A and B are shown apart, each in its own frame.
Chain A
Amino acid sequence: MATLRCEALVLRSVDYSESDRILHLLVPEVGRLTAIAKHARKSVRRFGGTLDLFNRLEVEIARGRGSAMSRLDRARLIHSYAPLRTDPARFALGCYLLEMLDRMAPEGGSRTDVQRLFQFAVGALDWLASHPPNAQVRIFLELRGLDALGVRPELRRCVRCGRDGIEGDVVDFHIPDGGPLCGACAARRGGDRLRVHQGTLRALEQGLDWDLARLDRLVLPPTALGEASRLVSRFQRFHLGVELQSERFLREMLPPPSGRSGAHSQGPAGP
């Protein structure tokens, strides 16, 4: 077994057999990795409380060959995101982001992509630990998570013809194509669409591109918040193709914005 010494973020921790624990880890070197921590629940010396959800660790892992599970041999706590444990809304949003990464992060893949994903995860948890969450934070962190997973929506050009400067205050955002349509393409293209203000798309673009530290300076008005929430939610469901289990809990702890706009959505329709 090859030994891997690296950083890791605990995405999920599941009790296994009488005294073991199975960990889902995000590792900047290899992506998502599952490892068994033998006797983790019994021995306070071996791992102590280090294998908890959200914890950032320095680990030593014996990599399993082929389909064999890797084994966690050593773990040292680098950082514990304590505020995520003491605020149910932060806990809910943190769990939601971890589930998204756990379900969608690649096992393997290019080192640059995986390191970018790890940087997103750590940055998002750092941000959540130091800022109170709200519906807007959820939208931006979810969108940035999708971007880190390689699923970034087009927010400026027509997603069909590539035309910049789409006319009109309100445009059709095509969910399967993942971007807005210009008037000509909208007339020809059917399918699941959402009417959104271009101002909402600009705000989402800023939410994606601005430095995380500046994110709290961006304040969306209620109309844009409602549109952005619906857009990101539908875009995520379509492009990830999974229903995240933790969403119901997140909606309970951090209700989505109720602001509705004059723009409207259109359900799936044939071309």
Chain B
Amino acid sequence: MRNASAVERLVTSLKRLPGIGEKSAARLAYHLLGATDARVEELADAIARVKKETVLCEECFDLTDRSPCEVCRDERRDRRLICVVEEPADLVAIEKSGRYHGVYHVLGGAFAPIDGVGPGELRVAELEARVQAGGIEEVVLATNPNAEGDATAHFLSDRLRPTGVRLTRIAYGMPLGGDLEYADHVTVGICIENRREID
């Protein structure tokens, strides 16, 4: 049996990435073959460093290259407000909105009973400890608005209610640019229930 060529090994490695199939892996491999040495080295260096240099923030559990992370170090952030998200990507999405100025808590997922994910697999105890340590006035539960995210949010609200902090859930509704005609009746119903005055 012959040894796999460098290209084959690269295709095999790329295929292991989420969303990359055989064809996409081959396309990326041939693209890299045609790229300059500097570009390829830059990519190889970035891949090698990301694993070595990325750590979890000791306060919010976001991915960072220095703990505490940039958000947790920022003195201008409102520390009375904690926004609970499932994953670092959700934190990035909220940061991009530019409308939130508190700090975060990254849970590490949402309940997924069939995959064996319950409270013990998420950073629930760490969140409770942060709230119990004091100084928190509001916890914004920003888990995804699906069944798993909703169940997780309600579990957290049950656990945090005795602390007396204000508990809020991100709003549900129509996406901007959406079409009522194409929305499901549950979403439309929630939009009607949560209607607000026009200022």
Contact = CB atoms under 8 A, between A and B. Distances in A.
10 contacts: A17-B19, A17-B21, A44-B182, A45-B178, A53-B148, A77-B184, A85-B151, A85-B154, A246-B114, A252-B119
Interface of B: 18-19, 21, 111, 113-119, 145-148, 150-151, 154-155, 158, 175, 178-179, 182-187
A12 interface: yes
A260 B94 CA distance: 51
Nearest to A53: B147
Interface residues of A, number: 33
Given A45-B179, A249-B118, A77 B151 contact: no
A172 to B, nearest CB: 34
**Which secondary structure characterizes the binding site on chain A?**
mixed
Contact of A88 (B116, B145, B146, B151): B151
Given A245-B113, A249-B113, A249-B116, 16 more contacts: A17-B19, A44-B178, A48-B182, A49-B187, A80-B184, A80-B186, A84-B147, A85-B147, A85-B151, A88-B154, A91-B111, A91-B151, A99-B113, A246-B114, A248-B116, A249-B117
Q: Considering the complex of A and B, which 3 residue pairs feature the smallest CB-CB distances, nearest first?
A: A246-B113, A249-B113, A85-B150
B143 to A, nearest CB: 11
Given A49-B186, A76-B184, A12 B114 contact: yes
A90 to B, nearest CB: 9
Contact of B111 (A50, A84, A249): A249
A88 B187 contact: no
Interface in A68-87: 76-77, 80, 82, 84-87
A246 B186 CA distance: 27
Given A44-B178, A76-B184, A96-B113, A49 B146 contact: yes
B184 A50 contact: yes
A252 B182 CA distance: 39
B146 to A, nearest CB: 5
A54 interface: yes
Contacts of B114: 12, 95, 98-99, 102, 245-246
A205 B186 CA distance: 38
B186 A82 contact: yes
A80 to B, nearest CB: 5
Nearest to A57: B184
Nearest to B21: A17
